[in-house]
Amino acid sequence: MLSASLVLFGLTLGLKDNPLVPIGPGFYPRIVLGVTAALSLWLVVADAAGRRSRKPAPAPDHNYLLVGLMFLLFGLYCGALAFLGYRLSTVLYVAAANALLDPPRGARGWGRVALVAVLTAFLTHLVFERYLTVLLPRGTWTGF
Amino acid sequence: MFELLGAGLANIVQAKYLVPLFIGTLVGVVGGALPGITITMTVIVVLPFTFGLEPLQGLAAMIGVYVGGETGGLITSCLLGIPGKPSAVATTFDGFPMAKAGEPGRALWLGVWASIFGGLLGAVFLVASTGPLATLALAFGPWEYFSLFILALSMVAGLVESSLVKGLLSGAIGCVVTILGNDPVMGKERLTLGIKFLEGGIPFLPVLIGVFAFAQIMSEVQRMGGGRKALQAVDRGLSLAVSHLRVMWEILSRPVLLLWSTFIGLVIGVLPAIGGSAANMLAYDQAKKFSSRPEKFGTGIPEGIIASEASNNANVAGSLVTIMAFGIPGDAVTAVMLGALTIHGIQSGPLFISQNATLAYGMFAAYIVAHAVALAILLPGVRWMLRIVDIPKAILFPVVVVLCVIGAYALNNTVDNVYVLLVFGVFGYAMVKFGFPLAPFILGVILGDQIEINLIRAVMSDSDPWLFLTRPISGGLLLASVLSFAAALWQHRRVQNRTAAAQGDADF
């Protein structure tokens, strides 16, 4: 955060003032980024000072791999929307996410995954496109 | 005022408004009852459904979610010992022991009726105070608005329990989001980093949806896979039937407790971005401090349930006052409502109530009627709600994510908003993992533009910077910011010293 705010602060120095406005477009960003950089620095120093005296906390039993895979899946879904369209990418995403969170056992489990995925895509598409006149993404590859 | 409220009530009971209000309240009750699904997430899910509706229909649905969620959250608190939402945590302290002691119906209905009474008392404040506060805000110039927004940010950042610096930094990062893109006064391009999409700035709704929804979903996902079994501590076969008159009398025979808890809920609601989670804990704490039998708290006494539930429903009214009078969201749910208003081209703030009287009084009416609707849903359906709690999260979460995507995409039909959702989803989860509070960040995102606009307007009107301090209201608000910051600093020091002393004791 410290480095990001410093880089952005540097970029604001290149912004030219407007003769119509007494303070230019870089004035407020400089204040905000200056405050952000100062607070980040404060946090870094406080953290470094506290680390010496602090005992390491026991690592919580969290499934970060699952979180990472869920984010990856969501990233792929976002990317697929433009190419595959809403319906197909939603079916694939819901099926994959459901299977990832609760791995199906046997044909019945896979049937449940497929049913949830198809129903989600179909019902949301029906409600939003038909009744709420919200146009959902079309795929450039699929055309629907 | 009464004529307008009467017209609002007559309006809202028409089928075209009552149906969205009913559906919103039902969804809110279910969302509130589901542990791991907050009201914010529920209102985010409902948001895309409101795009195709009239403003009052959409807002009625959202108000229904808000009221229904606050009421529904107590079901699992009382019957399963798991708070359905953070604002029902204190309900668990006495609701669950009472239910376990063989009185689940009494615990549940004490909570429901306390919610209804607290909410309706809050409605009196909402209707009576929004207009006068908006009139007061009309006297504000850019100096006062700037100072008011600074006060809102400093208060929220200061109320963060874990780290004051992280609270302040979180608010500052929120403001950084608003400086990317064209400057709001002259429209000059700045800090776009060569990304064309950033020229128009980052839309705040995908940021809000991404940060809140993903922070919560992923925080639940990280705990999944451990094979934990659901708690079912209270026998689901037990009768929930009670004498409603007796339960109501139990609440109304404690008028001071009811009024004080409602007052706490309202005050916390009016303060920006704090929310019901603080209100219910504070009300519970106050009820315990003023009780003649504080040692009984936590063993299943009605006072604990009444205090918690009356305050969290009154909190909704307080939050609505802030957004309708000042245009500042009282919490994350009203931040989403602010987005919904913007989508419909309605400007919230002091002029809102005078320029959109029908809509404003329709919202008041929706808030009042939502309590009756919540009661009508819970009376026959409370046992059925317990079955909904069994919906697997493996099904629920992907569906919620899909609705978040629709909500972000449908804002202006661009996939770019979905990418914003992804980026801020990751960012929100990272913030939570590193102990950064989300509320100041969101307030920074919402108020950042307004702070800049009012700062520049003030300087353009009169370049004397001392006016921020010498104008009485502006100076008073800035002084309040400094005092709020100093109080937060003092509070943090005290907590740190206490923690250090406790650690010292433990070592020896």
Q: Domain for residue A82, yes or no?
A: yes
Task: Quick: pLDDT tens for B424-447.
Answer: 999 999 998 998 888 788 888 888
**Cβ–Cβ contact A140 with B under 8 A:** no
* Helices and strands: H and E segment counts in chain A: 4, 0
* Helices and strands: H and E segment counts in chain B: 22, 0
Domain extent for A10: 2-53
Facing B402 at nearest CB: one of A46, A94, A135: A94
Q: What is the mean pLDDT of residues B398-406?
A: 90
Q: Domain for residue A137, yes or no?
A: no
Confidence class for position B365, pLDDT limits 50, 70, 90:
very high
Is there a single domain that holds both residue A118 and residue A94? yes
Q: Domain for residue A139, yes or no?
A: no
Closest CA to B337 of B96, B42, B89, B118: B42
B89 conformational bin, left if phi > 0, alpha if psi -120 to 50, beta if neither? alpha
Q: What is the mean pLDDT of residues B165-178?
A: 90
Show the 3-state SS of A36-64.
HHHHHHHHHHHHHHHHHHCCCCCCCCCCH
pTM of structure: 0.81
Mean pLDDT of chain B: 84
Q: Is the pLDDT of residue B348 over 50?
A: yes
How far CA B160 is from CA of A111, B98, B154, B221, B491, in Å, comes to 46, 32, 10, 25, 11
Q: Is the pLDDT of residue B507 over 50?
A: no
Tell me what pLDDT residue B161 has: 60
| Percent of chain A as helix, strand, coil, to the nearest 5 | 70, 0, 30
Q: Domain for residue A142, yes or no?
A: no
Is there a single domain that holds both residue A69 and residue A34? no
Nearest CA in chain A to B421: A78
Q: Domain for residue A32, yes or no?
A: yes
Look up residue A1 and give its DSSP letter: -
Sign of CA dihedral B404, B409, B415, B417: negative
Chain B interface test: which of A55, A70, A112 (most B C-beta within 10 Å): A70
Closest CA to B275 of B52, B417, B58, B69: B69
> Of the ranges A65-79, B190-204, B232-246, which one carries the lowest mean pLDDT score?
B232-246
Tell me what pLDDT residue A55 has: 63
Tell me what pLDDT residue A65 has: 92
Q: What is the mean pLDDT of residues B473-488?
A: 88
Alpha-carbon distance of B354 to B431, in angstroms, equals 39
Q: What is the mean pLDDT of residues B472-496?
A: 84
Look up residue B197 and give its DSSP letter: G
Is there a single domain that holds both residue A34 and residue A82? no
Higher pLDDT among residues B331 and B508, named by residue: B331
Q: Is the pLDDT of residue B463 over 50?
A: yes
Alpha-carbon distance of B120 to B310, in angstroms, equals 9
Mean pLDDT of chain A: 88
Alpha-carbon distance of B94 to B239, in angstroms, equals 19
Q: Inter-chain contact B459–A22, Cβ cutoff 8 Å?
A: yes
Q: Is the pLDDT of residue B226 over 50?
A: no
Q: Is the pLDDT of residue B25 over 70?
A: yes
* Chain A closest-CA separation from residue B231 CA (Å): 19
* Chain A closest-CA separation from residue B263 CA (Å): 35
Find residues 66-105 of chain A whose CB sits inside 8 Å of chain B.
66-67, 70-71, 74-75, 77-78, 81-82, 90, 93-94, 97-98, 101-102
Tell me what pLDDT residue B175 has: 92
Is there a single domain that holds both residue A69 and residue A127? yes
Q: For chain B, what percent of residues have pLDDT higher than 90? A: 23
Is there a single domain that holds both residue A70 and residue A109? yes
Nearest CA in chain B to A124: B403
**Cβ–Cβ contact A21 with B under 8 A:** yes
Alpha-carbon distance of A34 to A29, in angstroms, equals 8
Tell me what pLDDT residue B229 has: 44
Is there a single domain that holds both residue A70 and residue A126? yes
Environment class of residue B100 by beta-carbon count within 10 Å: exposed (0-12), middle (13-18) or buried (19+)?
middle
Tell me what pLDDT residue A132 has: 76
For this complex, say whether ipTM is above 0.90.
Answer: yes
Total Cβ atoms within 10 A of residue B157: 29
Give the number of residues written for chain B.
Answer: 508
Higher pLDDT among residues B92 and B365, named by residue: B365
Is residue B147 a contact partner of residue B478, using CB atoms and an 8 Å limit? yes
**Cβ–Cβ contact A128 with B under 8 A:** yes
Q: Domain for residue A144, yes or no?
A: no
Q: Inter-chain contact A12–B183, Cβ cutoff 8 Å?
A: no
Is there a single domain that holds both residue A70 and residue A100? yes
Chain A residues whose beta carbon lies within 8 Å of the beta carbon of residue B402: 90, 93-94, 120-121, 124
Task: Quick: pLDDT tens for A17-76.
Answer: 777 667 788 889 999 999 999 999 999 998 888 776 666 666 667 889 999 999 999 999
Confidence class for position B230, pLDDT limits 50, 70, 90:
very low
Q: How many domains does chain A have?
A: 2
* Chain B closest-CA separation from residue A144 CA (Å): 15
Task: Quick: pLDDT tens for B277-322.
Answer: 677 887 888 888 788 888 888 888 899 899 989 998 898 888 888 8
